[in-house]
Amino acid sequence: MDGAQAVPHIPLDMSALECDFYAFSAHKMLGPTGLGVLYGRRARLEALEAGDGGRRASEMIKEVWVDHATWNDLPWRFEPGTPPIRRGGRPHRGHRISREAGMERVREHEQALAVQTVELLSAIPGVRVYGPRP
């Protein structure tokens, strides 16, 4: 599921969604650009093979022998290369801000902005607003 639009606006319960994968970008949560999240149901992730083969320095491979290797545990199995460590802690800030404000307050504020936007656009001669009203 693409959760980019839902993540900053509503509380999510991955168990209730029953999706195999859920993706969103950090900047939608007031975080930095270039970072994101891919939630994966454990059973689905454990069934997947890592695609890179561990050619880059990483924690993807748990053990290596001359004739074979074993993948590391989740989530390291799918973490090739060096992550953007410097930016890695920042998505948490935006989430914290939203959580501290309260998701209901965030939603109420968005609704108020939507109402105001529709009212102002509707007042412009020749403009017709389509879609559901806030």
| Residue 55 scores a pLDDT above 60 | no
Q: What is the pLDDT confidence band of residue 119, given thresholds at 50, 70 and 90?
A: very high
| Residue 72 scores a pLDDT above 80 | yes
List Cβ neighbours of 59 (8 Å cut-off, separation of 6 or more).
Answer: 72, 76, 79
| Residue 102 scores a pLDDT above 80 | no
Task: Give pTM, 2 decimals.
Answer: 0.54
CA distance 96 to 91: 9
Question: In the predicted model, what is the mean pLDDT of the chain?
Answer: 79
